Structure formats: structure tokens, C-alpha cells
Structure 1
Amino acid sequence: MTETGRVAVMTAPGELAYQEYPVPTAAPDELVLEIARANVCGSELHIWNGKHPVKKRGGLGHEMLGVVRELGARRQVDNRGEPLAVGDRVVVTYFQTCEECFQCLQGDRNLCDRAYEFFAKQPEEAPHFHSAFATHYVVHPKQHVFKVPDAIPDAVAAGANCALSQVMFGISKTPLGYGATFLIQGAGGLGLNAIPVAKELGARVIVIDGVASRLEQAKAFGADHTIDMSEVTDVDARVELVRSLTDGRGPDVALEVTGVPAAFGEGLEHVRRGGTYLVMGNLSPGATVPFDPGYVTRKALTIRHVDRYEGRWLAKAIDFLAANLERYPFDHLVDAEFGFDRIQDALDQSLARTVTRAAVVLR
């Protein structure tokens, strides 16, 4: 009998069903994986609550760890050139890099025009397993894949893509360095991963969030100061508090990873004159905030919006984890685990912010 696998499918925002399909055979340039675990990233929550700009139906999940089930005849090594074998643990970019479109040829591979060619497919379309909230996953020819060293636990490796890779790539686009001050808006998965990246660069880190448990995690990851929005409820008061922690100037670099539009307007007030504002959390269409271009000009701000990351940064993320496993509590990033049949609970609790980072665990 043909073996079958299951895919969790959002039939409409907030509604989930499970579908069953035959487990595919790897094409020559593909890999077929068995999913070990997949995290609930903020992008899933944008999709789940109907605020994603494009995706209104289909498979969910992209931040995951997989185990090689089958290798295609021409897919015997990972993107470092390391040999792959059945049973190896791997991490994979959820998008592809086509190397043929305008953006790729310009060198902006993170903006590949065909990035979601496979991720966007509906599960009804073969080979069916295009997303990570599933029992299996097909790695297509132009997705980056990297073998995970034995020393990195499953729960830690799963977060390399996309949270850690994303913030490492984004921060690389800013002047953050030794002695700089760095403000992080939001202590979810992206925000917490950004702390050790900044600390290893020699920066001083301030974190703002409204959930006490997240701020405790931020401290554990090395945040120098935390600000609880539930206690400092006024924006002006938060701006003054941040200035008092940055010699009256404001941070050199700020990072928005809240997904809340109002955070963008607040962030502009926080950043010092001549500073840099890195925006990665807001992607829902139609949500607007008042914007004063003259204010930005007078402050001479640099605003960087970063979408996805270049595939090679996933390898850098794995190396970062291997080098810093003992220095930071990466193994505590996920604070709730759910079985495959409880994916809706994982999504709902993540959306309600009763958990910081949820994982769907299959083994």
C-alpha cells in the first residue's frame, strides 16, 4: 500500500482541517523530509487572523527541522557541499532563490520574484507537502538546505529558519556595532533571537514588550534594560525612559518586530537623530499610522525595511547557534509544545500571546 502523510490546511482564516496525501518520491533535484518539529512564527499568525497580504487559504508553517527521508539522485549534498544521508537532520529556507529573476540578478536574492512559487501552492497540488505543519515536506531544487550538527538539539535548530536567520540578516543591514545602543520593540521569537546577535556585536540592548514573561526571557538572553508597556503605558513616557537610558539621545538602532502598526510610529520617536530604524514585523496590508515625513527628515533617520533573508544566512545562523549554545538559553525559546493534532491550539494561544513561541512536535 502507498504510504500517506497529513497536511494541516487553513480552509479560511481561523479555521483548520487536516488532509491526507500519498508521500511523494523525491525527484532528481529534490529531497523528501519527515518533519520533526515546526514553530509558530509571527507570519503564521498574520495568516491565521486573516491579515496576511496574500495567503487566505492553504498550508501553514515554515520554521522547522526536518529529517531526510529520501534524496534525489542529484541532491546528495547540502548547500555547503556536505554529504547528506537518510536520517540526517536539516534546516531549509521556506522560500527558493531562482537566480533568474530581476531581483536575483541584481544581487537582491532575498527579494526573489519567485520566492514563494512552491510555498504558495495549495496542498491539493502535487507533491502536496509544501508547508511545515505537515508530516512530510518536499525540498525543491532551488531551496537552500543545510545539515544540522549533532550538538544542536532539535528544539534549538528549528528556530534557525526563520527567526535567527531573519534578524541576523536584518541587523547586517544596519550600522549596529560595538558600543552602540539597540532598542528592540517586541520580545517574541524574532526579538529574543535578536538580543544575542546584538550582544555578540558588542551592543547595549533595551527591549520593550507588554508581556512580563517575555521580558523575563529577554533578560535571560542578556537584555541590559527592559520596559514593560503594561506599566509604562504612555508613549511619551516610554520615549523619555529610553532616552534616559541612552544619554538623552535615543538608541543608535531600533528594531520593530511587533507586527503592530502603532509600534512603527513610536519607533520613529525613539531613534536618535541620525539613527537607523529596522522594520521587519509589520506586513499586513491596509493598516496605516500617521506619518510626518518632515519629522523623519529633520531627524535624518535611515529606515530599512527587510523582507526575508538570503539563503546563505541560514548557514550563518546554524554556525551562530553552534558557537553560542552555552552562552544563551536558546533551548528555552519555545515555551509551549503541541502535538500535531493540536495545531489550532498552538495558533490560538500564540495569537493570544499566552505563549511566547509555540512548537508543533512530531517526534
Structure 2
Amino acid sequence: MDINQVDIEKIVQQVLSQMGDQKPDGRKQTAPQSFSIPKRAKVAMMTDLRKIEVKEFDIPEIGDDEMLVKVEGCGICGTDVHEYKNDPFGLIPVVLGHEGSGQIVKMGKNITQDTTGKPLALGDKIVTCTIPCGKCDACLNMREKDNLCENSGIYGLMPEDDHYHFNGWFSEYLVIRKGSTFFKVNDMSLKLRLLIEPAAVVVHAVERAKSTGLLTFNSNVAIQGLGPIGLMLLAVIRTMGVENIIAIDGDEKRLQMAKRFGAKYTMNFKNYKDLDEQVRRLKELTSGRGADFAFQCTGVPAAASNVWKFVKRGGGLAEIGFFVDNGCCSINPHHDICKKEITMVGSWTYKVSDYPITFDFLRRAVGIGLPIEELITHEYSLDQMNEAMDTNMKQLGIKIAYINKN
């Protein structure tokens, strides 16, 4: 058989290729992924109140302790909307978005694993948590409460005043900086990954509630406010086995979703002439006692005042609705606190250690059939972010999300 030089070269290349696909133990070796990274990419930058513009920047060089992530999408949070309307944090100009997920496309040589120690590789899907400062009182003296870091960095809430530019998830790419906390989440769908951050907010709140010793399997639990946080909270306590749940809101569509998430009863506060009628109805649903535990999930001061009336004597309350200053509310210290001897806890964002618990919650929620992914009701592209914000402000859906289809 005649074999010419070209044939020999092909055979040699084939053999070498096959040898390269084998590990020393004979198992097939997967070639490392590589990605085509553009020189420039787009961000949706908030440049003024109620104004987001698409801008393009050079993608910076990635340092040894950094990563470049291609953004897959990001949920829109109520905090984003507050910033969009009023800039309470003084961040303008800013690239918002902190509920995102993306794929690692470039890694510094010192990046080998995520925050829990899982090995990382190009192509892995990740979500980010916080960037603790390591210098404040919480970081130095209360390490189990890193959520109280006074200078915590959060992607999507960083002013656009440095060379990175890709600081928020409302963009095509994100630069993960040194000192960040992040988690590999390859085993979850995109929608679940976009719900991790708000789910972590709720998981932290439930852990705070459990610290009172008043949240048990047979508790009568009232949840006031059925936005993404309230519905997610309902899902968390359902996965814990709590069944006696009363969901309170003024939107019938959200009340119906609450029933699908496992609420035993729903109350539309608009159907009652005053707070006294609401309290009477809630007591009817709890054998005349009131709620053993209540979660206040709105950012409305009047609601924060009303919720105290729903809690029975000796009961508990968790306030998780105010991540920005929406004003003060009035309570009666005698009737609402002392006479009832209520145990109240506040809840602020989440700890890094809440994230692994959150992953288990989401897997459990899917496993028992809760329609968790249906919380995402609207999807928008990067150049539609003003429209997305408007949809959120009008409460036309539940969770609004940016999806990067490029």
C-alpha cells in the first residue's frame, strides 16, 4: 500500500491528538475551553434619574486575582428601582444589577476555586455575593455577621468612577475583582440562577426568624407583601414544612400565585374597610389568636405599622422590607411591644454563608413542585432597560429580568 507524505502527516496528527485526549490512567481528557472575547462590550449605565443609556467600553486586562464573566442575565431588584427613581445612594453614573449570573470566560492565574472550595474552570457558571472590606467592626469583631460590613462592595451598586466600567450585571461582561465572594452553580437553570440573590435575602430573614425560637412546623405565619421577596419567603417556609400560612397583599394575581406556592389562606387588604377588620379576619383564621410569627416584606411605612397588630401576644416578627429609607412608621410601644411581649428581629441582606443554604432551598423548592421559576414573568434586552424599569415600577409582573441573548 502506498502512503505518501501527506497521509503520514495526517496519521501522525491523528495519533498525537488521540494521545492528548488521554489522561495517564487511560481516561479521556477533555480539552480546556477557550472563548472569543471582544475588545469592547456594552453596559446599561444609569446617567441620570430615570435614564439608562447603553454605552460601550474597552474590556480591561484581567489581573492574576480577577475573572472576566460573560453575563447571561440579571434580575431587577426593588433596590435598583429606588436607585433609578431617586439615587438614594448617590451612585450616578452607575451600572446597576446585582442579581446576575454569568459564565467565566477568562481567569487570572490565582483563581482556582470558588468561595466554598469548588474547583473552577473556564465555562463554569457563577453568581456573586459580597466583597467584605475586612477592616470595619463587623469584619474584625463579628465575622459571623459579614452582612453588616459597613463598606461592603456589591456588584451593581458601585459608582462608575474607576477603570473597570464593568461593575454591574446590567452589562454584557462583568469583571470579578480581588476579594470577591462567588459560587459555582452549573447545576441550576438560568432562571434559578437569577433568583439566587433574592432567595438569599429570604433565607437570611428566615434564619433570623428561627433564632427567636418562635417559628415552628405548626406556627400560624402571616406574610405581608407578595412581591418577589414575599413569595420567595413563602416558598422557603413551605420547604421547611410550615403549612399554616396566611398571605396578605392587594394584588389578586399575586395572591393567586401565593396559593400556588402553598399559602393556606389569602387576604386582599383592599377588601376590608379598615385595619380592625383585617385583624378580625386574621384572628378568625388562627382560632382567635393571631399570627405566631409575621414577616413584613413591603417597603411601605403604613404596612410596617399595621403588621404589629397581626401578631399574637408572645409572638414574633421579622422586618425585611426596608433596604432603603422609605420613611418612618408609628407603633404603640405599650400595645404593640410591651403588652404583647413580642420578639422582633430585623434582617439585612445576607451573609456569605447563607448562599450554600440558598442553593439547597432552591433545589428543594423545585423538588417538591413549587413553581419557583415562574416568578420571572418578563424578560428584556440591554437596550430595553428603561422599559424594564417602568414595567417593574408599574408592578405589571413579579420578577423582571434582563437576559443577554448575544
TM over 0.5: yes
Corresponding residue for residue 281 of structure 1: 321
Counterpart residue type for residue 126 of structure 1: H
Q: Among 250, 256, 261, which residue is 1:221 paired with?
A: 261
CA contact (8 A) 1:51 1:284 kept: no
Matched residue SS, 1:325? helix
Is the partner of 1:114 in helix, strand or coil? coil
**Could you tell me how far 1:57 is from its partner in structure 2?**
4.5
**Which residue of structure 2 aligns with residue 195 of structure 1?**
234
Alignment of 1:159-178 (within 5 A): 159-161=195-197, 163-175=198-210, 176-178=215-217
Are residue 294 (structure 1) and residue 337 (structure 2) matched?
no
Tell me which amino acid in the other structure corresponds to 1:133.
F
1:234-285 deviation per Cα after TM superposition (whole angstroms, max 9, x unaligned): 2221111111112212112111111111110011111111222111112333
Q: Do 1:7 and 1:123's aligned partners in 2 also have CA atoms closer than 8 Å?
A: no
Structure 2 residue corresponding to 1:258, chosen from 288, 298, 306: 298
Give the match for residue 385 of structure 2.
Answer: 343
Secondary structure at 1:335 match in 2? strand
**Residues 1:182 and 1:314: Cα distance change in structure 2 (over 3 Å):** same
C-alpha displacement at 1:35, in angstroms?
Answer: 0.9
CA distance in 2, matches of 1:353, 1:298: 37
Alpha-carbon distance between aligned partners in 1 of 2:148 and 2:308, rounded to the nearest angstrom: 25
Shift of 1:166: 0.8
Q: Distance in 1 between matches of 2:322 and 2:165?
A: 29
Q: Who is 2:274 aligned against?
A: 234
Secondary structure of 2:327's counterpart equals coil
Amino acid at match of 2:77: C
Structure 1 CA distance, aligned partners of 2:312 and 2:288? 9
| Aligned 8 A contact 1:180 1:202 in 2 | no
- Displacement, 1:221? 1.0
Query: Which 4+ stretches in 1 moved above 6 angstroms?
Result: none
Question: Quick one: which amino acid aligns to residue 70 of structure 1?
Answer: K
Cα distance between partner residues in 2 of 1:89 and 1:284: 30
Rounded Cα–Cα distance in structure 2 between residues aligned with 1:117 and 1:229: 35
Contact 1:24 1:32 in 2 (8 A): no
Q: Which amino acid aligns with 1:36?
A: E
- Structure 1 spans left out of the alignment, 5+ residues: none
Matched position secondary structure for 1:350: helix
Given candidates 59, 81, 91, the residue that maps to 2:117 is 81
Contact 1:186 1:256 in 2 (8 A): yes
Residue type of the partner of 1:167?
Answer: V
Query: Which stretch of the first structure deviates more once superposed, 52-61 or 3-12?
Result: 52-61
Give the match for residue 79 of structure 2: 43
TM-score by length of 1: 0.93
Cα shift at 1:78:
0.7
- Is the 8 Å Cα contact of residues 53 and 285 (structure 1) preserved in structure 2? no
**Pick from 84, 97, 103: which aligns with 2:138?**
103
Which residue of the partner structure matches residue 47 of structure 2?
11
The amino acid across from 1:14 in the alignment is R
Matches within 5 A, 1:11-30: 11-30=47-66
SS in 2 for 1:36: strand
Cα drift, residue 102 of structure 1:
0.9
Change beyond 3 A, Cα 1:276–1:54: farther
**Contact 1:25–1:70 under 8 Å retained in 2:** no
Shift of 1:124: 4.2
1:130 equivalent in structure 2: 167
Residue among 365, 390, 399 paired with 1:324: 365
Q: Secondary structure at the match of 1:316?
A: helix
Greater Rg by CA: 2
Q: How many equivalent pairs are there?
A: 360
Q: Report the secondary structure of 1:252's partner residue.
A: strand
SS of structure 1 residue aligned to 2:69: strand
* Equivalent pair of 2:66/2:175 in contact (CA under 8 Å): yes
TM-score (norm 2): 0.84
**Per-residue deviation, 1:56:** 5.3
Are 2:248 and 1:212 aligned? no
Conserved 8 A contact 2:96-2:157: no
Aligned CA RMSD, in angstroms, stands at 1.9
1:221 maps to amino acid: F
Number of the residue aligned with 1:144: 181
**Residue 344 (structure 2) aligns with:** 303
Residue 183 (structure 1) aligned with residue 222 (structure 2)? yes
Does the CA contact (< 8 Å) of 1:52 and 1:283 recur in 2?
no
Q: Please name the residue that 2:6 is paired with.
A: none
Percent of pairs with identical residues = 27
Does 236-245 or 45-54 show the bigger shift? 45-54
* Matched residue type, 1:240: R
User: Partners in 2 of 1:144 and 1:287 — Cα distance?
Assistant: 32
Question: Per-residue displacement from partner, 1:87-129 (whole Å, max 9, x unpaired)?
Answer: 1111111x21233321122232111122137654322412111
